[in-house]
Amino acid sequence: MADTGGIDLDHTSFAVHDALSWARRLRREIGVVPIAGESLPEFRYLLLQTGERTGGARLELLEPTGPGFLTRHLDKRGEGPHHLTFSVPDLRAAVARVRELGAEVVGEDYGHAPWREAFIAPGPQHRTVIQLAQSDRAYPSAEELRAGGEPDVAELPSVRGATEPHWWASTWETPAGAAVPLHSTHLDTADLAFSRRLFHDVLGGRVYETERHLDFSWPGGTIRVRAADRPGVRGMGPSLGGGAGIGLGSAVLGLPG
């Protein structure tokens, strides 16, 4: 894997009404493994690993627990993609480079070492929020998760003010299906040149170009970007279109065709 300067694609996040129901379905149908989750006043989240020891990616389910940004999002758009998250070794430096690109950064929080964060506002290029995060902790690898054993929550990244680190534990009761490696997040863009500058020049992804799309890769997964009139996340999967898939609102979790 190419050197990405310590930057990695952490996960792709989806807003849902019932995270546990979705997690159980995804465990049955594509063999996801739960990693971690916490609860906050406005929402709770559950992070899931797809795929086997290699070739997978992480996805997150966000469920509202009270009025706020997530209820407004679901009321306006329904279930579906919410944001992309990148882990960075130096959040302040990453924010400065994003601003040099001309993008708007909001919601900066540098005061909580287990999870520092900032957000690239959804501009016309992608119409998607992009979260930048820095933590002094780390999630277990896919290999460690598949080997079994429950990680110590004190060693995991943790959002400021979060509680209930085991609210999602019943997900383990659902038998797991065959693991499907949803290693690529499919993103439409209104400006391929901007996408290249952001994902390659600023966020360090290795780029591979074809006539139809750009693939930006990190250790944690790939973002496949294509030009389109309606930008936004289309889904995750080995491929989209032509094969089977799980519809999640406006997105598809694509299965091998």
Give the CATH number, domain containing residue 132: 3.10.180.10
Tell me if 109 is assigned to some domain: yes
**Phi then psi dihedrals of residue 184, to 5 deg:** -115, 130
Distance of CA 89 to the CA centre of its chain: 17
Q: How far apart are CA 8 and CA 161, in angstroms?
A: 25
Any idea of the CA torsion for 253, 181, 46, 156, to the nearest 10 degrees?
-160
Tell me if 131 is assigned to some domain: yes
Tell me if 22 is assigned to some domain: yes
Tell me if 172 is assigned to some domain: no
Count up the domains in the chain and report the number. Answer: 1
Tell me if 158 is assigned to some domain: no
pTM over 0.85, yes/no: yes
Tell me if 148 is assigned to some domain: no
Tell me if 41 is assigned to some domain: yes
Eight-state DSSP code of residue 71: H
pLDDT digits (tens, 9 = 90+) for 179-193: 988 999 999 999 999
User: pLDDT above 70 covers what percent of the chain?
Assistant: 95
Q: How far apart are CA 153 and CA 151, in angstroms?
A: 6
Tell me if 42 is assigned to some domain: yes
Q: Which residues of the chain have pLDDT under 70?
A: 1-4, 53-54, 149, 241-243, 256-257
What's the angle, vertex CA 62, arms to CA 185 and CA 192, rounded to 5? 30
Residue 124 lies in domain: 8-140
